[in-house]
Amino acid sequence: MEPTNMDSTINGAETSETRFQTDNSMSRKPQPKQQLSKAMEHMRFAVTVDPIPHTSTPTPPPETSSSLPLQPVEPVEPPENDAYGVPASFAPVRAPPSRSHDASNNQKRSDPFAFGSRYLEEGDNIFEFNAWDHVTVDSTYLAFSEEQYSRQRQEPVSDFDRQRYNAQPEKWWNQFYKNNKTNFFKNRKWLAQEFPILDHVGREHGPPATLLEVGAGAGNTAFPILQASRNKRLKIHACDFSKKAVELIRSHELYDPQFIQADVWDVSASPDPSSPNGGLPPGLEEGTVDVVLMIFIFSALSPTQWDQAVRNVWRVLKPGGQVLFRDYGRGDLAQVRFKKGRYMQENFYVRGDGTRVYFFEQAELERIWAAGGHLNNNNNDDDAEVLQSGVADVESVQTEKPAFEVAHIGVDRRLLVNRQRRLKMYRCWLQAVFRKPGQGSEVPTSTLRQESEEQGRDGDGDGDGELGQEERAGPAAEGDGDGVKV
């Protein structure tokens, strides 16, 4: 029987409806980026009414008479979000409003731009820029940090894991560089701003100089210095106790043994009498180095290793040689955000990838590097632990510790801002120049960028005696997209 016109119409309608139907159970559209990673979602505190942000639905404007003019609607700022467990309600201390620049160009920056010159003042939109300098936290944030530390102490790493992470720290860094290669850290092109002496030694007619970088990683410090240098008499020794890191440096397209040499070396290792140079890096002898770079490396050592590391740096430096130092400070967001099972001892933690990190205070650094005599830190059993772990021998524990001169030291407090995700991140770093007494190096002692900057603005009343700059669009810090490596 042939279908009637009505049947055809019905079948056609069904076909048409089926053609326009969609399967809503699966979407090919990319999902929006989560505010926090899954690993950090447990850090969101229940201190807000709605801990999970929702996009607000725009309200349609009310109907108005055609005779009345439409009133302009002011844009509404989206709500701020908690940053890795730090409540968004915490606000930084603001300076009184002042304008030392052209009011018609409110960029709060000098020209050319100099790090450390952007101050958060009353009336400023905190999300206008991606970073603010010399930011002081209030008592509420300090109390919150202490609560976090207390929770961390209550649930420390197990004794088994503590021994596992401390036994072979280079194993975890080998795995880190095997996984990340050269993709994790940004090139530290900002270092010459923080330590102007790096520009000096790289000048075309600069003095002959030997620079040793301890903890060179994948070369994110050494290669920018090498690229900027015009000094044919500058030789860089890049050392790391991770052999995978050294392999990455040696395979770099800019690696030239005439100007840069990469070797495996543990700065905390005890002297080796059987070694031709007493356990120092290959190609170096005692008293042959002008500048030692230690950028986020000292924090990777256990407190029981500090003493021997300072001794080894002392041995390799010429009289008058210097250490350019930058590392994490107590209260940095990377410390505050640690969860349970990461606390090793006071201010000392293990990250999720097995690498370790310590957070220093200024007085503590001065005691480690400048105070003569044996190092005395918070753990009364440190000496026994040093001997048991083989980090140092009896002679190194009992002999006097060398005392460096503290040429410069200061705290760098910075507020980093993620404008897209509406996050505020409080960072804290310590920066210093330690000098070995004597006269033997032709390289003058470095200043810090903040000092030369304050000399140029004496009388303006803008200086507050602190430093500036870690890793903004170069310095954001050692870590992920938000500048936090955990």
Going from the C-alpha of 230 to that of each of 118, 292, 361, the distances in angstroms are 32, 19, 37
In a domain, 237, yes or no: yes
3-state secondary structure of 228: helix
Q: What pLDDT is recorded for position 349?
A: 97
Write the pLDDT tens digit of every residue in 6-36: 555 445 554 545 555 555 555 555 555 555 5
Task: State the DSSP code for 424.
Answer: E
What are the phi and psi torsion angles at 227 (to 5°)?
-65, -35
| Torsion angle in degrees (nearest 10) through CA of 376, 268, 260, 204 | 10
Pairing of strands 317-328, 423-435: antiparallel
- Residue 391 above 90 pLDDT? no
Pairing of strands 317-328, 343-345: unpaired
Please tell me the total count of domains within the chain: 1
Residue pair 234/256 in contact (Cβ under 8 Å)? The answer is no
Q: Indicate the range of 42-46, 89-93, 315-319 predicted with least confidence.
A: 42-46
In a domain, 243, yes or no: yes
Sheet holding 356-358, edge to edge: 343-345, 348-350, 356-358
Q: What pLDDT is recorded for position 272?
A: 82
Whole-number percent of the chain with pLDDT over 90 = 43
Q: How many CB atoms lie within 10 A of CB 402?
A: 16
Q: Indicate the range of 93-97, 242-246, 327-331, 430-434 predicted with least confidence.
A: 93-97
Q: What pLDDT is recorded for position 429?
A: 94
Q: What is the mean pLDDT of residues 317-328?
A: 96
Q: What is the mean pLDDT of residues 123-140?
A: 86
Residue pair 215/300 in contact (Cβ under 8 Å)? The answer is yes
Q: Which secondary-structure segment (H or E) carries 387?
A: helix 382-389
Domain with 242 in it: what CATH number? 3.40.50.150
List CB contacts of 62: < 8 A, sequence separation 6 or more: none
In a domain, 83, yes or no: no
Task: Return mean pLDDT, the chain.
Answer: 76
In a domain, 100, yes or no: no
pLDDT tier at 45, thresholds 50, 70, 90: very low
β-bridge mates for residue 474, sequence order: none
d(C-alpha 429, C-alpha 450), whole Å: 14
Across 117-155, b (16+ Cβ under 10 Å) vs e yields bbbbeeebebbebebbbbbebeeebeebbeebbeebeee
Write the pLDDT tens digit of every residue in 168-215: 898 988 888 888 766 666 778 778 888 999 999 999 988 899 999 999
Take residue 446 and report the two structure tokens written for it. Answer: 């470095």
Q: Helix and strand tally (H, E) in the chain? A: 14, 11
pLDDT tier at 251, thresholds 50, 70, 90: very high
- Residue 477 above 50 pLDDT? no
DSSP string, 232-299: TTEEEEEEES-HHHHHHHHTSTT--TTTEEEEE--TTPPP-TTSTTTTPPTT--TT-EEEEEEES-GG
Whole-number percent of the chain with pLDDT over 70 = 63
More confident residue, 118 or 114: 118
In the chain, the N- to C-terminal Cα span, in Å, equals: 75
In a domain, 268, yes or no: yes
Task: State the DSSP code for 209.
Answer: E
Q: What is the mean pLDDT of residues 236-254?
A: 93
List CB contacts of 340: < 8 A, sequence separation 6 or more: 151, 152, 154, 155
Q: What pLDDT is recorded for position 128?
A: 87
Taking each helix axis from N to C terminus, what angle separates 362-369 and 306-316, rounded to the nearest 10 degrees? 60
Most confident of 98-102, 174-178, 257-261: 257-261
List CB contacts of 264: < 8 A, sequence separation 6 or more: 239, 240, 241, 242, 243, 246
3-state secondary structure of 383: helix
3-state secondary structure of 388: helix
In a domain, 452, yes or no: no
Most confident of 73-77, 86-90, 298-302: 298-302
β-bridge mates for residue 431, sequence order: 326, 410
In a domain, 8, yes or no: no
List CB contacts of 8: < 8 A, sequence separation 6 or more: none
Whole domain around residue 180: which residue ranges? 139-374+402-411+423-436
366-371: Cβ within 8 A, 24+ apart = 366/406, 366/409, 368/306, 368/310, 369/310, 369/323, 369/325, 369/403, 369/404, 369/406, 369/432, 369/434, 370/403, 370/404, 370/405, 370/406, 370/434, 371/401, 371/403
Q: What is the mean pLDDT of residues 251-280?
A: 90
d(C-alpha 308, C-alpha 3), whole Å: 96
- Residue 238 above 80 pLDDT? yes
Write the pLDDT tens digit of every residue in 68-85: 566 666 666 677 776 766
Report whether the peptide linkage leading into residue 156 is cis, meaning its omega lies within 30 degrees of zero. Answer: no
In a domain, 392, yes or no: no
Q: Which of 123, 122, 119, 52 is nearest to 88 (CA)?
A: 52
